Amino acid sequence: MQEEVIRSEKMKIVGDMAASVAHEIRNPLTTVRGFIELLGTANLSQQKKDFYKQISLEELDRAQLIITDYLALAKPDPETVENIDLNEEVRYLSNVLLTYANYNNIQIKENVAAEQPLLVAGDRYKFRQAMINIGKNAIEAMPGGGVLEIRSDKTHDELLIRISDNGCGMTQEQIRRLGTPYYSTKEKGTGLGTMVSFGIIKKMNGKIDIQSKVGAGTTFQFSFAKDAKGMEAVSRRVGMIREKSQ
């Protein structure tokens, strides 16, 4: 019974989010529609045509960004819970971000803690989405180039992944607002990336630590309890969800 309540509460949050994201996407679509109609006007100067075209493309890019940042939430509950090796994820993330980093004059440093896998339980697809959002922010925080460091590590009771940049950094107030919907300091930001990422990590029972200094850089650390029973408990829960949906 208790679980049913929690699940329906989760669905409500996801539903509310979907509604507000739909609203955010409708705006650029309406704009683009308007400009396409205008393009049909007789005797339009080439300058005007170029202008309408440029705005339309920018608006479509914005819709695309919103969808990308939000993607991971669209699947309401994890269907698949698998073993995710944090070492492997460090390599995956640096590969995925490589082009974007190169383009921005940023060097990626990869650091893998141990030879043996560092396993945590979760939906790999969502976890990757979470890390990509954080990694993209780190790159965007270094407009003049810099170093992005991605590392996995373990302590006596935790497994962790850490994403550091030597970019613009944040004030206490900015750190506090991280993860709240639509908070963005970027001209073309969606303010959805960190919110989606934090949601995914929390669902995995992960802990989020942020260290930042204005002008020096930022480190995001995500840590997970080393718990041999964790995987067993999770697969039992998945079993229950599967039974219900049959």
Per CB under 5 A, residues contacting Mg ion are: 137, 193
Give 205-238 as a DSSP string.
T-EEEEEEETTTEEEEEEEEE--TTHHHHHHHHH
Minimum Å gap between C-beta 232 and ligand ADP is: 34
Minimum Å gap between C-beta 100 and Mg ion is: 12
Over the window 38 to 67, marking each residue x when it contacts ligand ADP by CB under 6 A and - when it does not, the resulting string is ------------------------------
Residues of this chain, 99-158, that bind ligand ADP according to CB under 6 A = 133, 137-138, 141
Bridge-based pairing state of the strands 146-154 and 106-111: parallel
Minimum Å gap between C-beta 186 and ligand ADP is: 4
The option from ligand ADP, Mg ion, none interacting with 21 (CB < 5 to 8 A, set by class) reads none
Cβ distance to ligand ADP smaller for residue 56 or 133: 133
Cβ distance to Mg ion smaller for residue 94 or 137: 137
Copy the structure tokens of residue 3: 């679980």
The option from ligand ADP, Mg ion, none interacting with 138 (CB < 5 to 8 A, set by class) reads ligand ADP
Q: Which residue has the tokens 């650091």?
A: 111
Under DSSP, the state recorded for 154 is E
- Expressed in angstroms, the distance from the first to the final Cα of the chain is 19
Euclidean distance between CA atoms 148 and 163, whole angstroms = 7
The per-type count for the chain, helices as H runs and strands as E runs, is: 7, 7
Q: Give contact residues for ligand ADP (rule: CB under 6 A).
A: 133, 137-138, 141, 165, 167-170, 178, 183-186, 189-195, 218
